[in-house]
Amino acid sequence: MTESFTGSFTQQEPIPEDGIEAALAVLRHGRLHRYNTVAGEVAETALLEQEFADAMGAQYALAVASGGYAMSTALRALGVKPGDRVLSNAFTLAPVPGAIASVGAVPVFVEVTQDLTIDLDDLAAKAGQAGVLLLSHMRGHICDMDRLMAICDAAGVQVVEDCAHTMGAAWRGTMSGRHGVMGCYSTQTYKHLNSGEGGFLVSDDPQAMARAIILSGSYMMYARHRAAPPPEAFAQIRFDTPNISGRMDNLRAAILRPQLRNLSSQCAAWNARYRAVETGLRGMTGLTLIERPEAEQFVASSFQFLLLDWQGDAVRDVVARCAARGVELKWFGAPDPVAFTSKYDSWRYANPAPMPKSDRILAGILDMRLPLTFSIADCEQIARIIRAEVLAVYQGQADK
């Protein structure tokens, strides 16, 4: 009998009980706003920022309303202005070029490699075109950060890391988000911490973080932050920096603090599921796996593989056949954006130049969520289903 998967690819784990209790405490006292405290009280948001800074190994951290807001705030904090050009990945999701566009800047897309990371040769060729790189560690794949930083440092390019998919990951022991001047993270439901919406900024740069805190809507209450630069960093910045409110509230912070304490164990659980799918798909003719470098300590809350150089109709057939058996795959090669999935030529506001090299890679990318509500056995079954359907379509194409 043909097996089918019956699990949900969008069902996350419940919020931990201690997070629920902490959230109820906030609801009972009603002080949801991060600056609404009583004498002697430290806000949940301020506590979370200190804990997140410690977890990431950063001097400063700021909790904000979303990962997209974190990225746009980082760009503003570094002085990106309307009309400036900002480098970024051709393979990413819409909030990344959206953050660039939100400050009036112009995205300059850099090619993607078969490893699904930014093409460092193309970056080196384009580094002189911009003063900032908004680097997306798309779907948790980290490039050679040593070479990337050497390229950017030589060209005077400041790096902002989009770590929406790499919270808890590292390159040669350095946490994701800690190579560049600022790191940005998301706590949207499908990320490594879940508050529905939310995000973080981290940095060791006191001036950049002081601007970010004022931008986030601190008014003159920046001294209530526990993971902030000293007061003298705000002396002039507070008069020159606009308030573009995007604060995190105490309710979301209360939900996140227990999850942050469990981040390491959750990352290990995701990777176990990733390896189960990877093992089930290894050795297939026509299907290309993404090999993880030894220097990359990855966190895999999703899984990608390539059907490289397949015809579009054949890829659509694989997606449809897997869906019929309960396995949801997203294809980055579709001509029109679907749900959360889009690609650089979908973002017409950026007026992107054609990128045939990246088009070839994007046309073969299939992507799948791996929520922790899946068991290892679930992941093994999912791999069997994908393997069977890819093989069936591949053989059918060969027979034509």
Mean pLDDT of 248-262: 98
Give the CATH number of the domain where residue 184 resides.
3.40.640.10
Proportion of the chain in helix, strand, coil states, percent, rounded to 5: 45, 15, 40
Asked if 321 and 376 sit in the same domain, the reply is yes
**Mean pLDDT to the nearest integer, 343-354:** 91
Q: How far apart (Å, rounded) are the C-alpha atoms in residues 16 and 116?
A: 33
* Structural domain boundaries enclosing 299: 263-399
Q: Which residue has the tokens 């679930």?
A: 378
Residue 380 scores a pLDDT above 90: yes
pLDDT given at position 1: 62
Hey, how many other C-beta atoms are within 10 angstroms of the C-beta on 87? Answer: 25
pTM, to two decimals: 0.96
Q: Does 186 lie in the same domain as 122? A: yes
Alpha carbons 141 and 297: distance in angstroms, whole number: 10
> Is residue 11 domain-resident?
no
Taking only the tens place, the pLDDT of each residue in 282-294 is: 999 999 999 999 9
Average pLDDT over residues 319-331: 97
H helix count then E strand count, the chain: 13, 14
Verify that 76 and 200 share a domain, yes or no.
Answer: yes
- Residues 72 and 164 placed together within one structural domain of the fold: yes
For the cut 90, the answer to whether the pLDDT of residue 79 exceeds it is yes
Quick one: pLDDT band at residue 203, thresholds 50, 70, 90? very high
Residue 90 lies in a domain: yes
Residues 274 and 393 occupy one common structural domain: yes
Over residues 47-76, the pLDDT tens digits come to 999 999 999 999 999 999 999 999 999 999
Structural domain includes residue 6: no
Determine, yes or no, domain membership for 4. Answer: no
Domain CATH code at residue 322: 3.90.1150.10
